[in-house]
Structure 1
Amino acid sequence: MKFRHALAFALAAAPVPVAAQLAVPPQGSATPPAGSAAIPLYGKDTPGSPRDEVETRFMGRETVIRNITYPTLTPILPAPGKANGAAVLVLAGGGFQMLSLQNEGWRVAQALADHGVAAFVVKYRLNPSERDDKAWMATMARLMGGASPAGKAGKPPEIREPRATDDALAALRVVRARAGEWGVDPRRVGMIGFSAGAITTLNAVLQATDRQPGPDFIGYIYGPMAAVTVPAGAPPMFAALAMDDPLFGNGDFSIVSAWHAAKKPVELHAYAGGSHGFGMGTPGTTSTLMMSQFLAWMQSRGLLEAKARP
């Protein structure tokens, strides 16, 4: 497999086939909205440093952030008088090698805030990478090609980062603890995750406990479709992906079936086109309806109704 294809498939960040990427405009801003401020996720105990981060122009399409060691939470709040009390944590994807905040972070958060939902972008920790872009790309080419540094055949690395789940659960704690400050109902705090962010969102559900509750509802956007053991306290799920997704668009929706079999509310949207990483939608496909459908689903469950906070 050629390097560009291997990297795109393994990092789970390319929104369309590689050959067409340069024709697709970047999806939204590469920076947080004006006036927003990142909050260290663990306060004075937050590990790492913002200076470790590297901005990279990924495949000529968008600016991504990698080598994140310092996890943060950035509130994107509705305009005064528009908030309905619901909150959604936004987790972008990038194969735990980078965060596609331009495509799956700030723009998504702003769309939620525009509809009265308090949004919180989670910058979770990633696997380490070199500071030099060329060195990083060369390393990824080698790793995703399944070869060791010595050139011997090897198994491609597993795409995972356990600290990302720790950070997602920590973000839930922060939002609920400061719900009054942000005009949030602590019983209506959900998550929407894209690709690796969807994996992290799912892990936050699977690893939740009575002492560390998981999200109250989830958006599971082009995450793996394999079946899981659904916990008794699993929240309602909104799932979306494209049928031409080269990673998960094989027509097997086992995780949705598992949710349904466990008698947990679940809704699935499968678009004919959009590929992997479509974010708010690939132009010319019905994947552009995803955010409006997610909000309609929230409304159908009473999540957008303004209520007196407890």
Structure 2
Amino acid sequence: MGVAVHVNGQTVINLYDGEVPNSKPFPMEETSTTADDGRTRVAGVTVPTLTAYFPPEGTINTGKAVIICPGGGYSILAITHEGHDIARLLASHGVAAFVLKYRLPKDEIMKDKRIGPLQDAQRAIQLVRERADEWGIAEDKIGIAGSSAGGHLASTLSTHYREAYIENSKGTSLRPDFSLLLYPVISMREGLTHNGSRNNLLGNDPAAADVARFSNELQVTADTPPAFLVHAEDDRVVPISNSRLYVEALSKHGIPAKLITYPNGGHGFGLNNKTTADKWFDHFLEWLGGI
């Protein structure tokens, strides 16, 4: 079930009991650095966790839940503004939220770094779904969210849930019921991808089969979950074509998808695009209420 501890009033749950799958022994130390902007960045994760945010007392519980994958180019985790800040806001609106501190792909600590983050995402949804009753969550209302490279992980789970890369003897569904993708890396294809994310996940000279496999716009089927996406037109880190191609692929299969675009805002703005008074989160809540 995962060992839970309480840190600053939040419940932190180890994803795995015992050995972490696909791991190799290596003396890597987890680091957490907070910059002048107040944003904390985590690296060197070897013990992945979920930090739970439940709707506070007096808030109507919607029964919905979101697992949140912070971004960081598969190099670090921007865990404050792309993790905990979003989780707190979701919980305040009656949506349980879980910040996933996932392992970053590294050959030193993984037998196959291509699937390491996906294993942690699969385990996260497995754990939340199996404990849904305990936490007041509807088993069919559990979504995945991600920003930037975390958006790649979230869309990878959304399109690669059929094959379990973790132990799943109960046959628990690993399919998210919806996804929230902020300025996501979707594709691994040249000219579309974020090169740093691709190099970290697949290596500097990836096989064509791996590029196609992890280009999630190519992996959409009729069973891929609905998606809500946010992207700025002037994003010079992850081209907005990533979001547009994913929405196009979903639409071809008749899957509900909504893309909020902003003329400006660049990359990595989290909840608050400072170039506009518009709040994408309000649109997301409205969309979430209708699926």
- Equivalent residues of 1:194, 1:221 under 8 A apart: yes
Q: Name 2:143's counterpart in structure 1.
A: 190
Equivalent in the alignment of 2:47: 70
Q: Does 1:221 align with 2:211?
A: no
Task: Select the residue among 101, 113, 122 that pairs with 1:123.
Answer: 101
1:84-95 alignment runs, 5 A limit: 84-95=62-73
- Name the residue aligned to 1:175: 128
Alignment TM-score, normalising by the size of structure 2: 0.75
Q: What residue ranges of structure 1 are gaps of 5+ in the alignment?
A: 1-31, 131-159, 302-310
Contact 1:217–1:236 under 8 Å retained in 2: yes
Measured after TM superposition, the shift of residue 105 of structure 1 is: 0.6
Per-residue deviation, 1:283: 1.9
| Correspondence for 2:224 | 234
195-204 or 275-284: bigger deviation? 275-284
Q: Is the aligned partner of 1:282 residue 2:256?
A: no
Question: Which deviates further from its counterpart, 215-224 or 73-82?
Answer: 73-82
CA distance in 2, matches of 1:293, 1:122: 23
1:45-93 Cα deviation digits (max 9, x unpaired): 3468998211234586632111111101111000135211000111110
- What is the DSSP-based 3-state SS (H/G/I as helix, E as strand, rest coil) of the residue aligned with 2:119? helix
Answering whether residue 246 of structure 2 is matched by residue 255 of structure 1, we say yes
Closer, same or farther: CA 112–50 of 1 in aligned 2, 3 Å: farther
Which residue of the other structure, out of 75, 98, 107, is the alignment partner of 2:85? 107
RMSD: 2.7
Q: Deviations over 1:176-225 (max 9, x none)?
A: 11111111001100011101111001111121128443100001111135
The equivalent residue for 2:9 is 35
State the match for 1:54 in structure 2: 31
Whose helix fraction is larger, Structure 1's or Structure 2's? 1
Separation (CA, whole Å) in 2 of partners of 1:110 and 1:60: 19
| 1:277 CA drift (Å) | 0.8
SS state at 1:180 partner: helix
Q: Percent identity?
A: 33
Post-superposition CA distance 1:142-180 (Å, at most 9, x none): xxxxxxxxxxxxxxxxxx852111100100000011111
2:148 and 2:228 mapped to 1: Cα distance?
Answer: 14
Whether 1:272 aligns to 2:263 is: yes
Q: Which runs of 4+ in 1 moved over 6 A?
A: 47-51
* Corresponding letter in the other structure for 1:40: N
The CA distance in 1 between the partners of 2:15 and 2:71, in whole Å, is 18
AA matched with 2:232: A
| Count of residue correspondences | 240
Looking at structure 2, the residues matched to 192 and 293 of structure 1 have their Cα atoms a distance apart, in angstroms, of 15
CA deviation profile, 1:108-163 (whole Å, cap 9, x unmatched): 00000000000011110014599xxxxxxxxxxxxxxxxxxxxxxxxxxxxx8521
Q: Distance in 2 between the 1:289 and 1:196 partners?
A: 22
Number of the residue aligned with 1:209: 162
Q: Distance in 2 between matches of 1:75 and 1:89?
A: 9
If the length of structure 1 is used for normalisation, what is the TM-score? Answer: 0.71
C-alpha deviation, 1:250, in angstroms = 4.8
Q: 2:64 is matched by which residue type in structure 1? A: A
